[in-house]
Structure formats: structure tokens, C-alpha cells
Amino acid sequence: MKEGIYHVPVMLHEVINGLQIDPSGIYVDCTFGGGGHSAAILEQLNSQGKLIAFDQDEDAFKNLPKDDRLIFIPHNFRHLQRFLRLHKISKVNGIIADLGVSSHQFDVAERGFSTRFNAPMDMRMNQGEKLDAANVINNYSEEKLHRIFEQYGEVTNSKTLAKIIVQLRKSQSLNTINEFKNALYPVVKGNPEKYFAKVFQALRIEVNDELGALKEMLQQVPGVLSEGGRIVVITFHSLEDRIVKNFFKNGNFNEEQENDLYGSLQKNELKVITKKPIIPSPEELKRNPRSRSSKLRIAEKKRVSENIS
Ligand SMILES: C[S@@+](CC[C@H](N)C(=O)[O-])C[C@H]1O[C@@H](n2cnc3c(N)ncnc32)[C@H](O)[C@@H]1O
């Protein structure tokens, strides 16, 4: 990544096409980052339009353009509705969420996200939060560590890894990336780079409660989107993608629609626009290899005239 480039926006045209922007509408960018998607949305808006952008990382502040149509909210997008209300906005015309970490977060050694550098085991997107990766490693029970590595990282020998961490942490420090990697090297299965990438993914998801925040945000979407309004979500791993896919299709996080208290199928106010996820073009993959695992899904809030089922 070239010096100075904060983040290259993924599937920019697909996001803008997907949102079907009304120039005088109100839009939300849940994940401002380097502001690439936000800039493209602002380009489409006229002077009546508004963009509300969230980012929980204060490093993102430096990318804010001077634009009266933009309101920046330096908080977790799990509080979507609360902050919209605070700004007296009850409905928006579209929402984009481009999940995960930015290239900037990944490329700054001290943030502790990347296995490439030595730094404290941090991994917090919001540096005001107490829980960091070192905390998880030093304080979580063996069972909890096992579950995190298995569920969030699909680490093949997650049980052994959890057990060894709990043994080692009694006698040695696992607070930096090098300490952690060197101590755990004997349990690595397969390619060490890939192995630690999975372990780090699991820790990062836990530290930032990424799946919890995503679920909370999605549950607020039907309530804040206006009829015909669209939500576009870009995910980077299968756990997130499954959550988004099920929610768009069923209105919950299961594989099927559920029954309500009266035994009828629970209403789903969203309809799926992308039956299959959109993926980056070969040209984009070549230009921006970090887009490689991304998947984009779109849903639309049904209109009253459409059967809500
Ligand atoms: C992949 S980057 C987004 C890049 C952006 N779309 C662009 O074009 O530059 C994800 C950003 O979202 C932020 N983020 C991730 N999860 C968040 C959450 N739950 N609440 C608020 N911000 C979050 C991260 O701090 C990061 O800056």
C-alpha cells in the first residue's frame, strides 16, 4: 500500500448503483474510514441532500471533507437509530456499511491488527474501549478462547490453541505480537502466516464485537429506511455474509423465516435485490487485491403497496 493512501474503496460503482441515489435524499455511511464511499455519495447529492457518516475510530476524522451536507458521528454504528433521532432524522433513503478494518488500521503497526509487525496486541477500532486483544488472551477462560478461535477464526486446532495459551500465560507475557507468535509457534498447523491470520481475525472480531454490532445495526434498518430505500453491505468473511444474507432474506439471523406469537410467519420489511452477492471485477481484484474476499449484498425496504411477508 502506497504511503498516504488511507483506504481504497471497494466496489465503488456497485455501491453507488446499488443505492439508487435520490439527489435530495438522506444517506448513511456506517463505516466512513477513508471516506471513499462517502465522497462518491456526496458527489451524487444536491444541496438538499445529506450524508450521515459513522466511524468509531478517531483516526478517520482526518479524512473528513469540508461539506455542510455531511454530519459525522464518531460512534459505533450499533447506535444508528439513536444518533439519527438525536439529529432529528426519522427516515433515510439509503445506508451503506463496508465492514471490517480499513487499510490504514491494518497498515499502522501500533494498532496491532496485522501479523506483519511487532506491536502491542491491541486490535481496537475504538481506542476508547477497554477490551483489547491482550486482555482477551490474558483473561478469557479456556472454553471462551476455544469458542472464539473455532467460531470466529475457524482455526483447525482451536481447542489445543486455547489450552496452550492458558498454560503459557501463567509464566510468560503474551502482550505483544512477537511474544504471542513466538510462544504459539509450536502449535501452528499448516502455513504459519495463514494460521496466525485466522487467529488474529478471531481476536479482532471478539475485541470489537463485530458480529454483535452488525446484528444490532441490521435490526434497526427496517425502522430507519424509508419505503423503497436501500441498504448495501460489503462483508469480508463468511460469518458476516451469512448474517447479512439471512437478515435480508428472512428478517432474522436464522436460515428460515420465523413464526410470530400467533403462529403466522413473521413479517419481513426488506426484500432481497441481490439473490447472489456481487463480487469485485477481475480488474478491481488486480488493482486492489485487498478487495478479494469482499461480497456485496443489497436489500430494499418494501413499499406499503408490496405485500409485506
Ligand atoms: C473497511 S473500512 C471502510 C472504508 C470506507 N468505506 C472507505 O471508502 O474508505 C471500515 C471502517 O469502519 C469502521 N468501523 C468498523 N466497524 C464499525 C462499527 N461497528 N461502528 C463504527 N465504525 C466501524 C472502521 O473503524 C473503519 O474505519
95-106 confidence digits (pLDDT tens): 999 999 999 999
Q: Residue 2 has what pLDDT?
A: 41
Beta strands 295-301; 270-272: pairing state: antiparallel
Ligand 1 atom having least distance to the Cα of 57 = 25
The amino acid at residue 154 is E
Q: Residue 257 has what pLDDT?
A: 77
Q: Which residues contact 65 (CB under 8 A, 6 or more apart)?
A: 35, 38, 39, 42
Q: Which residues contact 186 (CB under 8 A, 6 or more apart)?
A: 164
**Closest Cα to atom 13 of ligand 1:** 31
Q: Residue 211 has what pLDDT?
A: 98
40, 9 contact by CB (below 8 A): yes
Q: Residue 266 has what pLDDT?
A: 78
Look-up of cell digits 419481513: 268
Q: Which residues contact 82 (CB under 8 A, 6 or more apart)?
A: none
Share of the chain above pLDDT 70, in %: 98
Ligand 1 binding pocket (C-beta < 6 A) is: 7, 9, 31, 33-37, 54-57, 60, 76-78, 98, 100-102, 125, 213
> 3 falls in which pLDDT band (50, 70, 90)?
very low
CA-nearest of 27, 63, 29, 23 to 47 is 23
128-150 confidence digits (pLDDT tens): 999 999 999 999 999 999 999 99
Ligand 1 atom having least distance to the Cα of 63 = 9
Most ligand 1 atoms within 8 A of CB, residue of 1, 16, 30, 31 to mutate: 31
108 class by beta-carbon count within 10 Å (0-12 exposed, 13-18 middle, 19+ buried): middle
* Cα 309 to ligand 1 centre (Å): 32
**Closest Cα to atom 14 of ligand 1:** 31
**Closest Cα to atom 3 of ligand 1:** 33
